[in-house]
Amino acid sequence: MAKIPVVTDPTLVALDAAIVERLVTEWKPRPYYGASAVGYECERRGWLSFRWAAVDVPDALGSRRIEDGHRGEDVVAALLRAVPGVTLRTHGPDGRQLGFSDLGGHYRGHYDGLITGLLQAPVTEHVWECKIVGDKVYASLSKSKIDLGEKAALKAWNPVYYAQAQVYMHYAGLSRHYLVAASAGARDLQSVRTEYDPVEGARLTAKAHRIVFATRPPERISDNPAWYQCGYCPHRTQCHEGGFPLQNCRTCTHSTPTPDGRWLCERRKLIIGEKTQREGCSLYLYHPDLVPGKPVDSGDDWIEYEMPDGSVWRNEATPQPIAQGAQL
């Protein structure tokens, strides 16, 4: 059977390009390590994200899926609130989205909501999450529930969502999680309830602490760039292809996250605010573990590296005076 030819629409191609350009231009990394990422198996990925090593934006299709997810979540929330006896809260009295903050604010998460009055558990409060997914992913959740039972289904279906659920229950002090999965446009709905596992909650909390306060990047999940988890990682270039990271305070050798949620410039002995962290300063030096070479010599404001091709490259800062006692 002959294949149906794909007809390219230049207007839609331009539309996709415009979406990506806007995403890159407006990209602003969040200042904290998020609970939605703690479930990724590779700890180096989490560390590089927390250190703003690369621009991490979806492609045009991914962006549209995210927008569809936001709209779908609102639709599902409204449908749940229409059920007699169900109470769904998505924001606190101050108008802010419900969530948690730990490690001085370096580690945070935001729940889609807290829900009570479910007919299958009327008096038990649950953390509520809504995920809008494609048809194949939607069907695979149904299969996981049939094959493994509801309690084990979420972990098998999506380990990242499962970790997120455990973290949210851990910090909310709740024992149940209620995830509603919907197909695109929220046409089809199904749910899965998951129990809190205190061992898993504690393990993930310790993992977040380890990633946030690590002074060096953790080991790769694989040294093989063809490994499936590396193929879609936003930090593949820095991790496997010898690429340099973005220049900002968090990829600088002088910066250190402090237990009270701030960042310290060890060179200037100053607390650096978020705006300065994004911009960097004249004393910037790449974190040695993020340079595709081996450090061979260094001074106060320079580090020399032997590069893969055998050449020597000097990373040198250009110090400028700063007022004593200033806070950047």
Q: What is the DSSP string of 17-63?
A: HHHHHHHHHH----SSEETTTTT-S-HHHHHHHHTT-S-----HHHH
Rounded-to-integer distance, Cα 244 and Cα 9, Å = 36
Confidence (pLDDT) at 321: 58
Q: What percent of the chain has pLDDT over 70?
A: 96
Could you tell me the two tokens for 182?
A: 């919907």
Burial class of 91 by CB neighbour count within 10 A (0 to 12, 13 to 18, 19+): exposed
Confidence (pLDDT) at 325: 42
Confidence (pLDDT) at 2: 63
Q: Which residue pairs from 322-328 have beta carbons closer than 8 angstroms and sit at least 24 positions apart in sequence?
A: 322/268, 322/270, 326/270, 327/270, 327/271, 327/273, 328/265, 328/268, 328/270, 328/271, 328/272, 328/273, 328/276, 328/281
CA dihedral 256, 259, 262, 265 (to 10 degrees): -30
Confidence (pLDDT) at 328: 52
Bridge partners, residue 73, by sequence: none
Confidence (pLDDT) at 326: 43
Confidence (pLDDT) at 232: 85
Q: What is the DSSP letter of 304?
A: E
> Domains (ranges, CATH) in the chain?
28-213 (3.90.320.10), 245-316 (no CATH)
pTM of the predicted protein model:
0.91
Confidence (pLDDT) at 318: 85
Confidence (pLDDT) at 27: 87
Rounded-to-integer distance, Cα 215 and Cα 211, Å = 9
141: helix, strand or coil: helix
Give the dihedral sign, CA 225/226/230/235: positive
Give the dihedral sign, CA 93/94/96/99: negative
Nearest to 318 by CA among 272, 281, 263: 281
CA dihedral 35, 41, 44, 48 (to 10 degrees): -40
Rounded-to-integer distance, Cα 251 and Cα 262, Å = 15
pLDDT along the chain (328 residues), means of 10: 74 92 89 95 96 91 88 95 97 93 97 97 97 95 97 97 98 98 92 98 97 96 92 91 95 97 95 93 95 94 96 90 48
pLDDT digits (tens, 9 = 90+) for 1-14: 567 777 689 999 99
Q: What is the DSSP letter of 119?
A: T
**Chain-centre distance of CA 253, in angstroms?**
23
HSE on the CB side for 243, CA within 13 Å? Answer: 15
